[in-house]
Amino acid sequence: MPSKSRNTLSTEGAAKPANIWLLGMRPRTLTMAAVPVTVGAVLAWAGDAVPAWITFIMTLGCALLIQIGTNLFNDANDGERGADGPDRIGPLRITGAGLAQPKQVRRAAIACFIAALLAGVYLVVVGGMPILVIGLVSLVAGYAYSSGPRPLSHGPFSEVYVIVFFGLVAVAGSYYLQSGQLPDDAVLLTGIAIGCYAAAVLLVNNLRDTDADIRAGRKTLAIRLGTPTAQWLYGFLLLVPFPMLAVAWGLQSIGLVWLGLPVCLWLAVLFARMPVGPGMNAQLGRSALVQVLVGALLIVEQLS
């Protein structure tokens, strides 16, 4: 008797509607939206800005809604293209597993984007034209990530996209909304540093899916670089934020942040020796958590 596929087994116990949509949201990845928004706000507060809690909550809500919507569009489009079929070695995707129809998942994604747009009206009132531009560009980029004739996720620049939107834009935008001032070089550099961790998560995902992506005709950065170089790039993305943050704030001003360096070194060495395959699923979770770790250490340092 043939054994069930990994994802077939995963669908058992996931059939409840609430569980299905929770899977589609990919809750373990949502820290990539929450961390940069929080870091940006804390940098403003550390610079004597008065905390605007409603603005912070609305900013965080918009970031999460845009990421959830992007995840759902990705789920629907990849599932419809057959990229997330029974042979998928990554986490379950609800469209590819047959738990939801593509049109249902797209409607949910559109609902998330509309909710983000409505919440964003408040932020535009607070921040003006720069926030309107950031919000609209973020929505378009979230849609274009996996939609249209040339999705960003299918090419070699998706890691750059993640650094820009899940790092630079999120940190700088949150800082601006709290302080009312344009971010300086230190804030911008911090945004890029935080975004590097999100890019590392995506790189793990794409390297794990290399075989399936090649069959689907994709040309991700992991495919272009090959396994050894992609593994070295992963280590670079984990480690380069430390000198970047040191340049931004000074060696002594990020004292606590250095506590995350041994963890990043361990993850870099671990991944460099890791064979491509399902074992990389655990590395995804570790990579997301290290962003939380470094972000939390930076927040504590800034507020102390």
pLDDT at 21: 87
Average the pLDDT over each of 34-38, 85-89, 94-98 and give the range with the smallest value.
85-89
Q: Is the pLDDT of residue 80 over 50?
A: yes
Closest alpha carbon to 170 in 22, 99, 70:
70
Find where tokens 């834009």 sit: 169
Residue 186 to residue 6: CA distance in whole angstroms: 45
Spatial separation of the C-alpha atoms in residues 177 and 194, rounded to whole Å: 18
The count of C-alpha atoms lying within 13 angstroms of the C-alpha of 265, restricted to the half-sphere facing its C-beta, is: 6
Give the Cα separation of 296 and 290 in Å (integer): 10
Taking residues 23-44, report their average pLDDT: 93
pLDDT tens-digit map of 275-297? 998 889 999 999 999 999 999 99
Side-chain-side CA neighbours of 301 within 13 Å: the count stands at 21
Query: Inter-axis angle of helices 241-249 and 227-239, to 10 degrees?
Result: 30
175-214: pLDDT as tens digits? 999 999 999 999 999 999 999 999 999 999 999 989 888 8
Rounded distance, CA 47 to CA 8, Å? 51
Q: Cα-flanking dihedrals φ and ψ of residue 95, to 5°?
A: -75, -50
> What whole-number distance in Å separates Cα of residue 299 and Cα of residue 39?
6
pLDDT of residue 94: 85
| pLDDT value of position 277 | 87
Whole-structure pTM value: 0.90
CB distance 281 to 90 below 8 Å = yes
SS3 47: coil
Predicted confidence at residue 297, as pLDDT, reads 97
Per-residue pLDDT tens digits for 128-184:
999 999 999 999 999 888 887 788 888 899 999 999 999 999 999 999 999 999 999
